[in-house]
Structure 1
């Protein structure tokens, strides 16, 4: 151990080189200069902390027992991992992280211990991934994320660490995907969603984070897909769904976000496919199903979503095909099966 004595104001202070070792291997663990003044031991000057194999893990300078200089933190192989600046024990100035390949990973500025300004993040190939803007260590203003091809991926506005305002996402082609405003985790006002082609996919209106108002969605060819009304996050009233050529495929009412009341569904040829009632999203009461030519295919009752009571099934020439009874969604008792000419073919129990 190296020792230097000097006299200051009649008090003897010692500057010593301190070395500490790993207990098992006895290899160097820490090495630093220190001032010993009475009972106080103050780090002063170069400081090194080592991996157990002797490679430097951290290195920098102390002044009056506080970190004060450029500090380096290394990977186990000795390559630079992090470079940061301290002034009187507080992070101040440039901050950088590196990949093991030496490629920059993160770069930004600290001011009085807090992130300040733009922090940029890169992938290992050097492509810019994210740009975050900090003020007083909190995200503020517009942050942006990028695809590897350089096109925008996200553009998000922050205020004091919370999403507040513009919120956009993009496809890797650069085409807009989502556009709206958010407050924290909640979407506010109108949200537009687009296909990769640029065609509008849907328009939604939010209030206090919940869907409110008219809702429209569209196929990529521009034909309307669905139309309904949201009230406080729930679908209420008439609902319309269309196939890609614009023909109505299903319609009926919602109540508290559940199908309730009389509903109809249609074939692509606009012929009626089915009709009946829902109660709280479950089939209930009399239901009819038709062939594409309009001939009745089946008729029977549901109770709480399950087939219940007498049911009849028909051939597409209107002749009876099958008839019997359901109990709790299971066939019960004797069932009669007829051929297409209406002649009884067999009975099943």
Structure 2
């Protein structure tokens, strides 16, 4: 008679690897299978053996195998029409080896390699036409090395160098014909050094200094022909100091002064003939302004003022010859308030209106060119009153 102990030792491997099939269903009638898999009879929980999952239409969604509750070997996933969606290799529950993703036409759209669940070597993605869309180098699951993006035509679109999991060094973006569109320098994922943009004809469009992700230092803007259009400076991402714009022919278009991103001091705009177009005086608070405008011949055309960026105080408009006022009006916090007077070409009053915060309230008078009163009416809230 054999020893019971020997019998149990012989039987135990069989018990250890014995499996029980489990099925789950979409419906209470148990006609539409959702999952079909095996568990160990040792605990009736640990997945062990083949595994399948199905779509509601009955077609397979995923298939693979488990060993002691962990995915092992090749797993396949499918589109709902039955075509292959994804291939993943597993080792001891971790992605290990090639991973491929396919579109509904069967063309590969992604390919990567894993080791112990970490991306290694490179990851690639593809357009539906099969051409490469992007590729990245990885070390221990983190981007390290050159990352490239492509146009559907296969032409290089962008390249960024990664180091220590972040962009480091030169980054370039290209137009489809290969001309550089953008050049930038990164340090630990932050724009530092310079940032350049180019026109499609390869002419430099803008160049800016960068520090810690913000514009810092001088910048210049050019047109497609290489003419300097604007130059100035930034400090901590805000305009600072002289800001000079040019006509393509080289004449000065404006001269502004900035402090912490706001205009300050006296600022000028110019006509191409060099005459002043406008003169703006900015108060010490960098908000309130007084402005004068001039014709190309140097004749004063208007006087305006602003408080907290809104029209304020007395405004004047002048005739083309600059000799006579054509309009005089008063503003308070952005609204017409007080007497508004227009003038005939000979300098005589033409109309008088009294405003209260954008509404005509009070007498309205009209005069002929000799200054003789022609009509008078009383208004209240923009409407005739007392008639």
User: Cα offset for 1:237?
Assistant: 1.4
Does residue 214 of structure 2 align to residue 210 of structure 1? yes
Closer, same or farther: CA 298–55 of 1 in aligned 2, 3 Å: same
Runs of 5+ consecutive residues of structure 2 not aligned to the other structure? 1-6, 354-387
Return the alpha-carbon distance in structure 2 between the equivalents of residues 121 and 18 of structure 1: 38
Render the CA deviation track for 1:37-88: whole Å, top value 9, x for unaligned. Answer: 4x46554433222223321111112234322211101112221111010122
Query: CA–CA distance in 2 between the matches of 1:321 and 1:87?
Result: 89
Task: Find the residue that maps to 2:21 and give its secondary structure.
Answer: strand
2:30 is equivalent to residue 46 of structure 1: no
Match of 1:136 in 2: 140
Equivalences, count: 340
CA distance in 1, matches of 2:312, 2:56: 77
Residue 109 of structure 1 pairs with residue 113 of structure 2: yes
Displacement after TM superposition at 1:184 (Å): 4.8
Q: Does 1:233 align with 2:237?
A: yes
**Measured at CA, do residues 318 and 88 of structure 1 come closer, stay the same or move farther in structure 2, by a change above 3 Å?**
closer
Deviates more, 1:310-319 or 1:51-60: 310-319
How far apart in 2 are the matches of 1:164 and 1:264? Answer: 42
Q: Distance in 2 between matches of 1:48 and 1:8?
A: 33
In structure 1, the partner of 2:289 is 284
Query: How does the TM-score come out when normalised to structure 1?
Result: 0.89
Q: Structure 2 CA distance, aligned partners of 1:34 and 1:308?
A: 82
3-state SS of paired residue (1:212): strand
Distance 1:30 1:246, change over 3 A: same
- The structural deviation recorded for 1:28 is 2.3
**Distance in 2, Cα, partners of 1:7 & 1:124:** 59
Q: Does 1:68 align with 2:69?
A: no
TM-aligned CA deviation for residue 36 of structure 1: 2.2
- CA drift of 1:315 comes to 1.8
Any idea what SS the aligned residue of 2:41 has?
Answer: strand
Paired residues of 1:308 and 1:325 also in contact (CA < 8 A): no
Q: Deviations over 1:297-335 (max 9, x none)?
A: 123444443444443322222331414241324263141
* Equivalence for 1:56: 60
Segments of 5+ residues of structure 1 without an aligned counterpart are 1-5
* The 10-residue stretch of structure 1 (85-94 or 177-186) with the greater mean CA deviation from structure 2: 177-186
Q: Distance in 2 between matches of 1:42 and 1:335?
A: 92
Structure 2 residue 264 is matched with structure 1 residue 266? no
Equivalent of residue 178 in structure 2, options 167, 174, 178? 174
Which has the larger Rg? 2
Work out the CA distance in 2 between the residues paired with 1:40 and 1:310: 90
Residue 157 of structure 2 is aligned to residue 153 of structure 1: yes
Quickly say closer, same or farther: Cα 1:141–1:334, change in 2 above 3 A.
closer
- Deviation of residue 163 (structure 1)? 1.9
Matches of 1:109 and 1:90 in 2, distance apart? 12
Q: Considering fraction of residues, name the structure with more strand.
A: 1
Counterpart pick for 1:36 among 38, 41, 62: 41
RMSD: 2.3
Which of 15, 18, 23 is the aligned partner of 2:21? 18
Deviation at 1:130, TM superposition (A): 0.5
Paired residues of 1:49 and 1:57 also in contact (CA < 8 A): yes
